């Protein structure tokens, strides 16, 4: 019987309660944002600033990542050049060794030439002596020889011997000179080969020095990337500090709004509504439960369901909120009154597709539609976020609602 009377009483009490809540809050709160609308405006503003700052942080992180990948690329190039320089260095060393061994061959050849020259000189001295002797023999020495010789044959044979020696000397000297020429030619070839190696080495050294300056450039460029990375990091850090401050303000404002809304509920929860405790599932059907109450601090139970699924109140009651919240999106709160023991029950339905189909002060029954499942506010996918407040404390809805 009383259940029919409260309908009129509630709307009167509710408007009084709301007025009291607003006046009461503005008297207590020191901040300018004392009314619900002002709080919502400020929260929206903080949200906007947070979005901006998050974008800036993301930009700074992108800049940092770009600089890091550029730096990595430059270092890889420097590394490649370093291995080319190492390779060249080995080639230069090898060439230097070849030049040294060529020089040793040249030195050896020069020693051979010097020895050959000494042989020629010595042979030439002998030859000159023999020439002199033959000259003396021809210039009348033959007389002396004649007297010394015991017979003509001996004399002729002596002369023949001298002539033979002379011819031999000539042959030997010619041969030696030819050998000397050969040695000089060989030495010349060695010198040419050495000079070719030296040209090669100069080219290698040039190449190496070009690579070294290229490597220096790359290292300097990589160093510059460090500056860019540091700058991006510094910016990111300072932005993160700002973000923390802003997040704190945002959370405070949200808390203020929550307590303001709780105050409203508190004051609205006093009408003599008798709660039957005969609760029903708010959705005729749903896919599955996603996040449960208390899971990671979750304040309600999430029912995944297709967008547009009608949402019904879990029990009859009076609508005490039908509005927008940054986290809840479009949401409705229904006061179900108190049970026989004086425990109060208030339910909340969040993330509705569009603004509520009901308005504040309206009496609703289980067959009424509050709104439709959606994805508004802080939500990632169509679902109904259901909260139940028993004596103003958030409680696991599944303890009361069949599912």
Q: Which residues of the chain form contacts with Zn ion (CB under 5 A)?
A: 302, 385
Measured CA to CA, the distance from residue 288 to residue 402 in angstroms comes to 13
Rounded alpha-carbon distances, angstroms, from residue 249 to 32, 44, 98, 244, 403: 14, 12, 78, 9, 38
CB of 389 to Zn ion, least distance (A): 14
Range 302-340 burial, b when 16+ CB lie within 10 A, else e: bbbbeeebebbbbbbbbbbbbbebbbbbbbbbbbbbbee
Q: Which is nearer to Zn ion, 279 or 349 (CB)?
A: 349
- Please answer whether residues 226 and 234 qualify as being in contact, where contact means their C-beta atoms are separated by less than 8 angstroms: no
CB of 332 to Zn ion, least distance (A): 15
CB of 293 to Zn ion, least distance (A): 9
Q: Which is nearer to Zn ion, 336 or 385 (CB)?
A: 385
End-to-end CA distance of the chain: 29
Q: Which is nearer to Zn ion, 295 or 343 (CB)?
A: 295
Q: What SS3 class is residue 392?
A: coil
- Please answer whether residues 93 and 205 qualify as being in contact, where contact means their C-beta atoms are separated by less than 8 angstroms: no
CB of 290 to Zn ion, least distance (A): 8
Q: Which is nearer to Zn ion, 187 or 385 (CB)?
A: 385
In order, the DSSP letters of 243-288 are: HHHHHHHHHHHHHHHHHHHHHHHHHHT-S-PBP------SSS--SE
Q: Which is nearer to Zn ion, 385 or 389 (CB)?
A: 385
CB of 259 to Zn ion, least distance (A): 20
CB of 300 to Zn ion, least distance (A): 5
Residue 155 CA, distance from chain mean position:
108
Measured CA to CA, the distance from residue 337 to residue 270 in angstroms comes to 7
DSSP character at residue 386: E
DSSP character at residue 353: S
Q: Which is nearer to Zn ion, 226 or 295 (CB)?
A: 295
Residue nearest to Zn ion (CB): 385
Candidates 330, 334, 295, 294; CA nearest to 312 is 334
CB of 385 to Zn ion, least distance (A): 3
- Please answer whether residues 208 and 88 qualify as being in contact, where contact means their C-beta atoms are separated by less than 8 angstroms: yes
> How many C-alpha atoms does 112 have within 13 Å on its Cβ side?
17
Phi-psi region of 319 (alpha: psi -120 to 50; beta: other; left: phi over 0): beta
Q: Which is nearer to Zn ion, 302 or 316 (CB)?
A: 302
CB of 9 to Zn ion, least distance (A): 33
Q: Which is nearer to Zn ion, 236 or 302 (CB)?
A: 302
Max Cα-Cα span within the chain: 184
CB of 7 to Zn ion, least distance (A): 31
Q: Which is nearer to Zn ion, 64 or 385 (CB)?
A: 385
Helix H or strand E encompassing 192: helix 152-268
């Amino acid at each position: 019987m009383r259940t029919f009377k409260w309908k009129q009483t509630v709307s009167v009490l509710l408007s009084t309660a709301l007025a009291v809540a607003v006046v009461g809050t503005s008297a207590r709160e020191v901040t300018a944002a004392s009314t619900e609308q002002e709080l919502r405006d400020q929260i929206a503003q903080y949200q906007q600033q947070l979005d901006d700052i998050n974008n800036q942080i993301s930009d700074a992180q992108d800049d940092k990542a770009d600089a890091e990948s550029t730096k990595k690329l430059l270092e890889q190039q420097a590394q490649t050049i370093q291995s080319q320089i190492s390779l060249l260095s080995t080639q230069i060393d090898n060439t230097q060794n070849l030049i040294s061994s060529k020089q040793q061959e040249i030195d050896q050849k020069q020693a051979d030439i010097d020895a050959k020259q000494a042989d020629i000189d010595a042979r030439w001295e002998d030859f000159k002596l023999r020439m002199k002797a033959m000259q003396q023999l021809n210039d009348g020495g033959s007389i002396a020889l004649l007297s010394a010789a015991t017979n003509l044959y001996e004399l002729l044979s002596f002369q023949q011997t001298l002539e033979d020696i002379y011819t031999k000397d000539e042959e030997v000297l010619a041969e030696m000179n030819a050998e000397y020429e050969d040695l000089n030619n060989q030495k010349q070839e060695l010198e040419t080969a050495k000079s070719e190696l030296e040209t090669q080495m100069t080219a290698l050294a040039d190449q190496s020095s070009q690579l070294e300056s290229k490597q220096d450039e790359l290292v300097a460029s990589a160093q510059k990337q460090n500056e860019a990375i540091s700058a991006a990091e510094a910016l990111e850090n300072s932005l993160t500090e700002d973000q923390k401050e802003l997040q704190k303000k945002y959370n405070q404002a949200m808390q203020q709004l929550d307590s303001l809304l709780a105050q409203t509920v508190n004051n609205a929860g006093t009408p003599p509504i008798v709660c039957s405790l005969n609760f029903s599932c708010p959705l005729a059907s749903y896919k599955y439960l996603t996040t449960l109450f208390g899971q990671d601090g979750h304040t309600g139970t999430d029912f995944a369901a297709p967008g547009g699924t009608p949402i019904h109140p879990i029990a009859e009651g009076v609508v005490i909120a039908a509005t927008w919240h940054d986290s809840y999106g479009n949401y409705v709160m229904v006061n179900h009154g108190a049970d026989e023991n004086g425990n109060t029950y208030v339910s909340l339905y969040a993330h509705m597709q569009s603004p509520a189909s009901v308005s504040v002060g309206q009496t609703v029954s289980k067959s009424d539609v509050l709104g439709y499942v959606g994805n508004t506010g802080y939500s990632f996918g169509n679902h109904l976020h259901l909260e139940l407040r028993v004596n103003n404390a958030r409680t696991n809805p599944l303890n009361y609602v069949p599912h």
